[in-house]
Amino acid sequence: MLGNFSYKNATKLYFGDDSLQFLNEELPKYGKNIQLIYGGGSIKKNGLYDEIVKILKDNGKTIVEDGGVMPNPTIEKLREGIRIARENNVDLLLAVGGGSCCDYAKAVSVSIHCDEDPWDKYYIRFEEPTCEIVPVGCVLTMAGTGSEMNAGSVITNHEQKLKVGHVFGEEVMPKFSILNPKYTFSLPKRQMVAGIYDIFNHICEQYFSGEDDNTSDYLSEALMKSVVHSSLIAIENPEDYEARSNIMWTATWALNTLIAKGKTTDWMVHMLGQAAGAYTDATHGMTLSAVSLPYYRYIMPYGLKKFVRFAEEVWNVSPSGKTDEQIAEEGLQEMEKWMRRIGVAMSLSELGATEDMIDGIADATFILEGGYKVLTKDEVKQILKESL
């Protein structure tokens, strides 16, 4: 039975190869001071930075620079961003980059006017903001996280060896996001495939929960098939506009809260992967791929019906003459073939994790209760060892 829920997504999207021009429609809605957030400088090399600066200046805006956002934004960087915003009385946070820049901008947005420590308030106690929230806009250059249309924000604290995500309320969602698939063309292949797997796993995290067939499951299956189909085209030709647009659009719908409706949702692959990421600082999508198969093989007996459906509907596994267990396992084997074909990490050791880290990673893993099996710490350690 599809449960009771409410749904609202406040983010306005502009999609396509001319979408940046719509920044001119959005900017007049905000004040003069714009904090321009970006990563390591690739947008300066490809010319996007200059395009955006020109639009900002043409609209009479004062640009406040905030570059250097790292792939796993740290609490130290967050505190720097808060300081920049406060000193310049910013009116809009404009994130240009991938999910890390968007996540970081949202964390800054709820912290500028907060009189408490943001790490303790938002990432340890998981409280909601009670202060004024500075609006966020995004110009996306990497598809994967869905951060452009949700209220999630992940921050890493290396001192505490924690990588923690907080899903805020709808008021923290970006006010607008600009999605031009061509901006993703210049990504290194490893980043592209990490994003592709992140998309796929976002869908899995919501799909592998609950037993009842509902609309969310049918949507999820279609999105997963779209990711698989387009990924195989994109790894051969990264500048195939159709494939890259489908990947970018699927990424947005994979995590804008729509397909979670009526589902308890799992998210244990993310908890395992994020904990590993806090120790290795590895690319997010690769930490997910490294732990996925050991986790899914472990919980498969507890959600066998859904794993059978996954095999048949997503991977076209024939059920003829096979037990449910055989069908489900064949589905995971097909998933593994696809993962190896696109080139994601298949083990944590590939990412720098070692056996002496297992206890620490397990301790840093938040245990959630929405999936088919609530893990014990010993089970977490077992799965992590199998992921090595």
pLDDT of residue 1: 57
* CATH 3.40.50.720 matches 189-387: no
Give the residue extent of every domain in the chain: 12-183, 189-387
Report, in angstroms and rounded to the nearest whole number, the Rg of the chain calculated over CA atoms.
20
Segments in the chain below pLDDT 50 = none
pLDDT of residue 40: 85
Nearest to 196 by CA among 345, 342, 40, 43: 342
**Alpha carbons 230 and 249: distance in angstroms, whole number:** 11
**Alpha carbons 270 and 198: distance in angstroms, whole number:** 9
Global pTM?
0.94
Contact 177/137 with Cβ under 8 angstroms? yes
Query: Which DSSP letter does residue 194 get?
Result: H
pLDDT of residue 252: 96
pLDDT of residue 368: 96
Q: Are strands 176-179 and 136-140 parallel, antiparallel or unpaired?
A: parallel
pLDDT of residue 6: 82
The gap between the terminal CA atoms of the chain, to the nearest Å, is 38
Strands (E) located in the chain: 12-15, 33-37, 62-66, 92-97, 136-140, 152-157, 162-167, 176-179
Question: Which tokens belong to 70?
Answer: 């790292």
CATH T-level topology, domain 12-183: Rossmann fold (3.40.50)
pLDDT of residue 259: 95
pLDDT of residue 282: 93
Question: Which tokens belong to 342?
Answer: 């696109």
pLDDT of residue 2: 64
